[in-house]
Amino acid sequence: MVPADHKLHARSDSGKFGAIICQLPTESTDRWFEDSLTWTANDLEAGLNIRSPHIQYLLARLEEETRHPGFASEALAELIAGQVIIELAKYYKSTSQKPRKNGLEEWRLNIVDDRIEDFMNAPSLVELAQLCNVSVRYLTRAFRISRGCSIGVYIAQRRVEKAKDLLRRGESVKSTAYSLGFRSPASFCYAFRRASGETPGQYRKRMLNS
């Protein structure tokens, strides 16, 4: 997140990539941030890598509506953008209220992120703690402060996001389930529907027919 009066210079490796750019109206951000955001150096740094799973999910939904517009897509996109603003306000409030030293260090967060991408072999808390060279108690507490949710919830959300990506590309429900480490397509369907409100088959059909 970058304020209107600031510039951001970025660079990346060569190759194709996608991006969602949301221009948020000032009146909406002022309403929910309640003048709590003064854009200190800490605030600016926190906006460069927002790892909130709630915000990531909302942006993924916004991408779906943009790529595959349907009934009342414009109104739905506005509602989703409003939710993004509220989640951003909660995120910045948490970063300002909690000392950075209480969160998990960025390099340790990267270790956790890299490890959980192996969906076929889900890590235990003990393994993640050993990789980060910290206790399980410290890891779970610090991770929740940094990401706003438990490690288990974060892993589940990442699996659903990956599942949606595979289904959009035309992968079958069965192959997607096993590639993400689910014991059966039935357990995958239950987890997917609980997180998204529709079955993976319904989601796949909707995406491929759009």
Q: Where are the domains of the chain?
A: 22-97, 99-115+123-145, 149-210
**Average pLDDT for the chain:** 84
60 neighbors 164 (Cβ within 8 angstroms): yes
Which of the two residues, 40 and 193, has the higher pLDDT score? 193
Q: What is the pLDDT of residues 72-119, one digit of tens each?
A: 888 888 888 888 888 888 877 766 554 445 788 888 898 999 999 888
Highest averaged pLDDT of the listed ranges 41-45, 98-102, 179-183: 179-183
pTM of the model: 0.55
Number of H helices, E strands in the chain: 11, 0
What is the per-residue DSSP string for 46-97?
A: HTTS---HHHHHHHHHHHHHHHS--TTHHHHHHHHHHHHHHHHHHHHHHHHH
What token pair was written down for 50? 């927002």
Which of the two residues, 10 and 203, has the higher pLDDT score? 203
For residues 164-179, give the mean pLDDT: 93
- The CATH number of domain 149-210, selected from 1.10.3720.10, 1.10.10.60, 2.40.50.140, 1.10.3860.10: 1.10.10.60
Tokens 């192959």 sit on residue: 175
Contacts of 193 (CB under 8 A, 6+ apart): 199, 200
Q: What is the pLDDT of residues 135-145, one digit of tens each?
A: 999 999 999 98
Query: Which of 39-48, 59-68, 133-142, 190-199 is predicted with the least confidence, judged by mean pLDDT?
Result: 39-48
